[in-house]
Structures are given as C-alpha cells and as structure tokens.
Chain A
Amino acid sequence: MKSAVNSKSRRKSRSSTPGDLVLRSLSFFYVFLLIVLPLIAISSRAFSGGLEGLWRNIVSPQALYSLKLTFIVALVMVVVNVVTGTATAWVLVRYDFPLKNLMNALIDLPFAIPTVVTGIMLVALYGPNGLIGGLFGRHGIEIMYAKPGIVLALLYVSFPFVVRTVQPVMIELDKDMEEAASTLGARPLVIFRRVVLPSLTPAILTGAALSFSRAIGEFGSIAIVSGNIPYKTQVASVYIYGELESYNPQGALGMSMVLLICSFLILILLNRLQVWNRRHEHAD
C-alpha cells in the first residue's frame, strides 16, 4: 500500500498520471469544440472565396461607413469613460460622502443588466417620449436613434471597466509622495498630473482597452438605441446582423473577420499591459 502511494506521488512529480491525461483531454475537447473549431469554420469560409472577394465586402460603402462609425463612437466613449471613470474612482477612494458604499456597490450594475434592457432603459428616459429626451427634443436635439444615443449606450455598458481597474491601484497608492510634493508647494492639479497620474497610467490604459474592446463588439443596447439607419447610425455588429437577416452571409464574413482581428489585437495589447502593470508594481 505504502509503495503504491509513493509511486503515485513520484509519478506525479515527473510525468502525467492517467487522471491528468483525462482532465487534459477533456479540457482540449471543450476548448476545441467551443472556441477553436468555430474560429476555423469562419476563417476557412471567409478565405474560401479568395482575398479579393473578402476585401470587396469590407470596402463596400455601407460596410466602410459602419466600420468608421464604430471606431469613432468607440473612441469618443473611451475618452469620456477614462475621464469620468478615473474621477469616479478618485472620489470613491479619497472622499467620504453619504451613501458612498451603496454607490460603490452599484458601479457593477451595468455588468449585471442585460444589454437589451440597457437599451430599453435609455430609450425610456432619453427617447423622444422620455422625461429627459422630451426636454431635449423640444430644443431640436435628438439623443436616441442618433449618434449621441450610441455613445450613451456604450458609456453605460462599459462604465465599470475604468473605475474597477483604476480603483485598486488608487487604494494602494503611497500618499507620501503627494504630501512631499504638496510641502514643496505644488498645486493639487500639478500633483495629480506629475505624481499620481504616472502610477495610474497602466491601469487607466487597461480600462480603456477593455472598454474599447467591448464597444466595437457591442450589439444588444445599440440595436435598440440606434435605430440602425444605414449611412447614419448603423455600427459594425448591427451591419453583420443585417447581412445575416437578409440571407447574405458572404457580406457578413468580411466585417466579422475585421472585428475578430481587432479582438485578437486587443487581447495581445491587454496581455502586454498586464506585464507592464506587474513591472510597475514591482518597481514600487
């Protein structure tokens, strides 16, 4: 009995036990079936008609417009989200005010709420018949079924990303340097820019990349909020859905490949940022 146990643990440290192999095979099977095979299926279909056909799909005027719109609204959202997200994290970490804990808990709400419900909620408030939307409408400003509505929806669904990546770094921040700068006569804004911001940069960039990644793929909230008008409010994901709805999978392939390649690039970028982040932590 004892020798059997010994040989078991010895084998474990050197090579794989049969149990290990079973677990590994099951893992390979699951990843292969759910992730690798679908990727191979879409890539092989995309390139089966040759690069030229694929390219023609991507540069068709409607596709190009929706791609451009997707990137522009995503960039606008990221800029706003970085500013408001960092400010929110700052206020939550550094200041005290009534109901702070409740607000901190509710930051994650956008992750819990289904994207379609997000769209519906925004229409209920900011739509032409909504409380706030009606107010703007009387002054001729359209929010829903227009570009501002798309940015608003993206801001909603990606709100927690920047807050939740910056917050933990801010909590760990050493206040000594800020106090030293303050004693030397630096003004608060200068301290923030020169002392605080450099330590937060990797976290802010990570939050920005996560938001951007979410934004270029977002579908549910935009499908409700944008009205999906070609050459006006149609984004990439909605364009793909439109092509599928009109039984034109060929048209959907080009745009899908563009989005997939963007996803891969962002994943690589996030990986680099993580390495940078870790180095930052060790340097402190």
Chain B
Amino acid sequence: MGRMLLTACVIGWFLLLILFPVFGVVKEAFQGGIGAFVSNLKEASAVRSFLLTFWITLGTVVLNTVFGTILAVTLAKQRFRGKLIMEGLVDLPFAVSPVVAGFMFILLFGPNGWIGSWFEAGGIKIVYAFPGMLLATLFVTFPFVAREIIPVLKEFGLQQEEAAYVLGASRWQTFWKVTLPSIKWGLVYGITLTTARSIGEFGAVLVVSGSIINRTQTATLFIHQEFTDFNYSGAFSAAVVLALISFGILVFMQKVYGGKRRS
C-alpha cells in the first residue's frame, strides 16, 4: 500500500515538473497549425541564429576536445608542482554563474580589457562578436571532456603504453593505437555533454554577445528576444526545435552510456 502510494507520488511529481511542461510547449507551438510553426522557423533571423549556434558548437567541440584531452593526459599521467590547484581549477566553470563568466570575459577581452585592448589596436573585435561568444562557450563547457576521461586514463595505467614503447612504437602511434581506444567511450560521452551545453548556453553568451540581431544572436538568444518582444509563437516554435535536439542528444547519451559501462 505504502509502496504504491510512494510510486504514484514520485511519478506524479515527475510528470508535473519535468514532462508536462514539454507537452505544454509543443501544444502552444502548434496552436496556429503546422504552417505557422514552419513559417516561424523560416524567418531569416531564426535561421541565422540556428546557424550561429551550429558554428559556435562546432568550434567549441573541436577546441575543447583537443585541449581537454591534452589536459586530461597531463593531469592523469604527470606529476608536477601545482597539479592539485590545476585539478581544482578545471572544475570551477561548473560552479560559476554563466552571467559572471560572461562578465569576466568582457573585463578581459573587452575594448578596455588587458587582452582585448591589444587586439582592438590590431582591429580585431573579440567581445560583442563571434570570438567572444566562442570563448564564453569554451569556458562553460571546459570541464566536460577532461572530467570524463581522467578517471579512465588513471585506471588504465601506464603498463600497456610502456609495452608499446618497448616494442618501438612512437609516442604518437601509442596514443592512436593504445590510449585512444581505451578512452573512446569516455571521450564520446564528454563530447556529447559539451555539444548539449554549447547548444543550450545562454547567460554567458548573452553577456558577451550584445545580442545583435542577425549578427551575434544564437538560437537561445533568439528565443529570449522573441519572448521579451511578446512574440510568443516564435519563441515557442524555436524552443520546440531545441527541445527536440535535446531529446536526440539524450537518446544518444543513453546509448553511449551503455557502451561505456560495457567496456
């Protein structure tokens, strides 16, 4: 009896909090029929915002995968002074408010910032332009790849790699043939998390972008803009598309998680 009641309460809470809002937004988005939904999305500013999200996500995934892997290999295999501090710093972006993150990048890379003023002199804009938005997204997704593969690398140990060395493999060959296959699932999982967060990032990107329509507006910024302009059907339609992408990523994550556990 108590068992059924508890199960019912938990399912009820889950439906009310997590699932029904999804149905709610889908219903609102299709209020004017499929035609209205499609034409909302075909609007030039909507299309451009999704394209910008795509490019930022691509850049973030490439850079954070390469540097995240380098960072993980360094932290897992080497000993050096300041390593503990560095490990702590890697986790920091998860704890920092996205708005504060964006603000920090404005202070550093803005027209009056230490690095920003230097680039500005060379005619390169960082903040309120693509590079700044990319930097902010790199910051908020910084820990994902490294955090996922550090435990695998530590567990994996040095033995197999040393065996490869002794057999005459170069450092590069060892990485491709021995290390990479062992961290494969962790790496894919970290990349998936990075992708999801890059697509969805809002606060940090909003602060550094200036949200210039058609120029520095990502999909999430577009949704926010439509919402604050009381253009609800536009906001609902774009939100449904992003929610669909999230569902896809979630399904993929479950598959990868299965693979990770098997290996």
Would B21 and A156 count as touching, CB distance under 8 A? yes
Would A23 and B166 count as touching, CB distance under 8 A? no
Point out the residues of chain B lying under 8 angstroms from A35, CB to CB. Answer: 89-90, 92-93, 139, 142
Would B202 and A34 count as touching, CB distance under 8 A? no
A228 nearest in chain B by CB position: B228
Would A156 and B250 count as touching, CB distance under 8 A? no
B100 CB within 8 Å of chain A: yes
Compute how far the CA of A249 lies from the CA of B196 in the bound complex, rounded to whole angstroms: 30
Would A87 and B9 count as touching, CB distance under 8 A? yes
Q: Which A79-135 residues have C-beta < 8 A from chain B?
A: 84, 87-88, 90-91, 95, 97, 103, 105-106, 108-118, 120-126, 130-132
Q: How far in angstroms is the closest Cβ of chain A from B163?
A: 10
Would B165 and A5 count as touching, CB distance under 8 A? yes
Compute how far the CA of A118 lies from the CA of B21 in the bound complex, rounded to whole angstroms: 8
A94 nearest in chain B by CB position: B3
Q: How far in angstroms is the closest Cβ of chain A from B231?
A: 12
Would A95 and B78 count as touching, CB distance under 8 A? no
Would A124 and B89 count as touching, CB distance under 8 A? no
B108 CB within 8 Å of chain A: yes
Compute how far the CA of A42 lies from the CA of B106 in the bound complex, rounded to whole angstroms: 9
Binary CB contact string for chain A from 263 to 274 against chain B (1 if under 8 A, 0 otherwise)? 110110001000
Compute how far the CA of A268 lies from the CA of B141 in the bound complex, rounded to whole angstroms: 20
The segment from B32-40, B177-185, B219-227 found at the interface with A is: B219-227
A137 CB within 8 Å of chain B: no
Q: How far in angstroms is the closest Cβ of chain B from A273?
A: 13
A109-B18, A112-B196, A113-B243 given; A5·B2 CB < 8 A: no
Point out the residues of chain A lying under 8 angstroms from B254, CB to CB. Answer: 105
B100 CB contact (under 8 Å) in A45, A111, A132, A259: A259
Would B224 and A217 count as touching, CB distance under 8 A? no
Binary CB contact string for chain A from 1 to 40 against chain B (1 if under 8 A, 0 otherwise)? 1000100110010001001100110111011001111110
A124 CB contact (under 8 Å) in B21, B80, B242: B21
A240 CB within 8 Å of chain B: yes
Compute how far the CA of A97 lies from the CA of B5 in the bound complex, rounded to whole angstroms: 12
Point out the residues of chain B lying under 8 angstroms from A152, CB to CB. Answer: 17
Q: How far in angstroms is the closest Cβ of chain B from A174?
A: 20
The segment from A50-58, A193-201, A219-227, A275-283 found at the interface with B is: A219-227
Compute how far the CA of A112 lies from the CA of B97 in the bound complex, rounded to whole angstroms: 18
Point out the residues of chain A lying under 8 angstroms from B253, CB to CB. Answer: 108, 112
A105 nearest in chain B by CB position: B254
A230 CB within 8 Å of chain B: no
Would A219 and B200 count as touching, CB distance under 8 A? no
Would B100 and A88 count as touching, CB distance under 8 A? no
Would A114 and B200 count as touching, CB distance under 8 A? yes
Would A125 and B25 count as touching, CB distance under 8 A? yes
A208 CB within 8 Å of chain B: no
Q: How far in angstroms is the closest Cβ of chain A from B125?
A: 18
Compute how far the CA of A123 lies from the CA of B92 in the bound complex, rounded to whole angstroms: 31
B94 nearest in chain A by CB position: A213
Compute how far the CA of A31 lies from the CA of B64 in the bound complex, rounded to whole angstroms: 11
Point out the residues of chain A lying under 8 angstroms from B67, CB to CB. Answer: 26-27, 30
A19-B171, A23-B74, A263-B96 given; A121·B250 CB < 8 A: no
Compute how far the CA of A36 lies from the CA of B201 in the bound complex, rounded to whole angstroms: 21
- A-B residue pairs, 3 tightest by C-beta: A114-B200, A217-B97, A125-B24
Q: List 16 A-B contacts (CB under 8 A).
A: A24-B80, A27-B70, A37-B114, A38-B105, A42-B104, A113-B242, A115-B220, A117-B242, A124-B28, A125-B25, A126-B21, A131-B27, A132-B20, A132-B24, A223-B224, A259-B97
B residues near A (Cβ < 8 Å) are 2-3, 6-7, 9-11, 13-14, 16-25, 27-28, 67, 70-71, 73-75, 77-78, 80, 86, 88-101, 103-108, 113-115, 135, 138-139, 142, 162, 165-166, 168, 171, 196, 199-203, 206-207, 220, 223-224, 227, 235-236, 239, 242-243, 246-247, 249-251, 253-254
Q: What 19 additional pairs, Cβ within 8 angstroms, besides A26-B70, A97-B7?
A: A27-B86, A34-B135, A38-B105, A91-B6, A103-B11, A108-B250, A111-B196, A112-B200, A113-B243, A117-B246, A120-B223, A121-B22, A121-B243, A122-B21, A217-B95, A256-B100, A259-B96, A263-B95, A263-B97
